[in-house]
Amino acid sequence: MRPIPERYQNLAIELLRDLVRIDTSNPPGNELAAAEYLQQRLNLCGITTTLLKTAPKRGNLIARLRGDGLAAPLLLVGHLDVVPAAEQDWIHPPFSAEIHDGMVWGRGTTDMKHMVAVSAAILVALAESGIKLKRDIVLAATADEEQGSTYGMAWLVKHAHELLNAECAINEGGGNCIHINNRPFVTFQVAEKGVCRTEWTARGSDGHASQPSAELATIRLARALATLGDGYIQSGVNDTMRLALLQIASFRSPEAREQVARLLEQRRIEAALMSAGLDQGAIRAVRPLFYTTAAATALQAGDIKALNVLPAKAQAWIDGRILPGQSRTDFVALLQQRCGRNVSIQPIQQQYSPGQELPAESPLFQIAEKVMAQALPGAVLVPWMCAGATDAIHLYDCGIPAYGFVPMLAIQNEQNKTGPHAANERISIANVQTALHVLYHVVRDYCGYA
């Protein structure tokens, strides 16, 4: 398998750095500037583009490389917005895209301007290659993914569905490399956990702070939150992760596979992960994929200017991540059962999406499996689930299966927690090149003639 020419590797790095330098922190967004920049670069290379403005300074870019139409298009998805960055927490400025020690530093380098840059470079490389394509290749560079996609993919699905029409999509959520027993396993995301955020309210008597009691609103809320423990509130094993763990265990031994199957049946999740050969670091990373989780991310009670007053109300906001097949009603009932009746729990409107799961096998998976084996001898591609929410939830709604696969072969940033949403987010140039190399061949083989 030939490496992609160096000029396209350089193009991907250049596009990534330029996109990082455009501050698209969401809120407020400002993705339109990044979309216009990308449009200009792709138009210079002869790629057809459509810019769709959805609000002041908000916008999405759709770029299309046309095939002969024998097969339905392939959609490449990447969002242009990023989470905010506090510059004082960074070694290098978060929007400078500086290169140090073989790494591009900056907010959005891993989430997910690298995918946008790589996808754009793939379009240019295929356009200039002269390879005959049997399907269009469409790049959707979207807004607002970090805040629910109101101005991004959700808007596109509702108002510009015809531009997205595709047989399937490649998105974020997979492509990570996990080394287990000296063998690399590369994830291919076919499932995604759902989101269900809730508001908790505890009430109690107000009055003078010199007369506390065990029934204060703040104490009632604290007791309720304590019932969440470490946040892993209910185990569950879906088809995707069962298949993945059994596949990993089978490379250890047939006996290990049988043992893992028994432990999963008994819902002994941690023991199953250990028997499959995962070390403690990998267990921590994979454990959320076998549980419904709940994390308290915001609290509110009282007034700092009136510390001698007992607040009558205390509130918490909980970020819940639910497994495929679990409903909002099920999740709220589970939380209420755990915490008791001294706290009322209400789902937050517009903060719910169900989990999704696709069949593990697909033509795209088979091509990715073949390419991956050539790119990294000994590597095993395994179906996987994404713990977070992505733009895929909107594509599922309009009948487009979305798979997560942005290959990152080198394990990086795991010790220092400098990946998505973290301070000092960065990506190695080698990993950008790897993503470009692997995805180029996957896209070419899926969209081109043999």
Alpha helical stretches, state H, 97-253: 113-129, 153-159, 161-164, 217-226, 239-250
Q: Which domains does the chain have, with CATH numbers?
A: 6-179+359-447 (3.40.630.10), 194-353 (3.30.70.360)
Q: Could you give the 3-state DSSP secondary structure of residue 68?
A: coil
DSSP character for 412?
-
pLDDT for 413 equals 45
d(C-alpha 241, C-alpha 261), whole Å: 11
Cβ neighbours for 226, distance < 8 A, ≥ 6 positions apart: none
Closest by alpha carbon to 38, among 7, 61, 11, 22? 61
Tokens matching residue 113: 């301007």
Judging by DSSP bridges, how do beta strands 380-386 and 183-192 pair with one another?
parallel
Alpha helical stretches, state H, 326-428: 328-339, 363-375, 392-397
d(C-alpha 318, C-alpha 197), whole Å: 6
- Residue pair 174/365 in contact by the 8 Å Cβ criterion: no
pLDDT for 417 equals 65
- Residue pair 373/442 in contact by the 8 Å Cβ criterion: no
Spans of the chain below 50 pLDDT: 412-416
* Cα dihedral: 41, 418, 380, 440 (round 10): 10
d(C-alpha 139, C-alpha 120), whole Å: 7
d(C-alpha 429, C-alpha 408), whole Å: 11
pLDDT for 182 equals 86
Burial class (CB in 10 A: 0-12, 13-18, 19+), 230: exposed
Q: What pTM, to 2 d.p., does this model score?
A: 0.94
- Residue pair 425/110 in contact by the 8 Å Cβ criterion: yes
Dihedral sign computed on CA atoms, order 412, 414, 419, 420: positive
Tokens matching residue 209: 């702070």
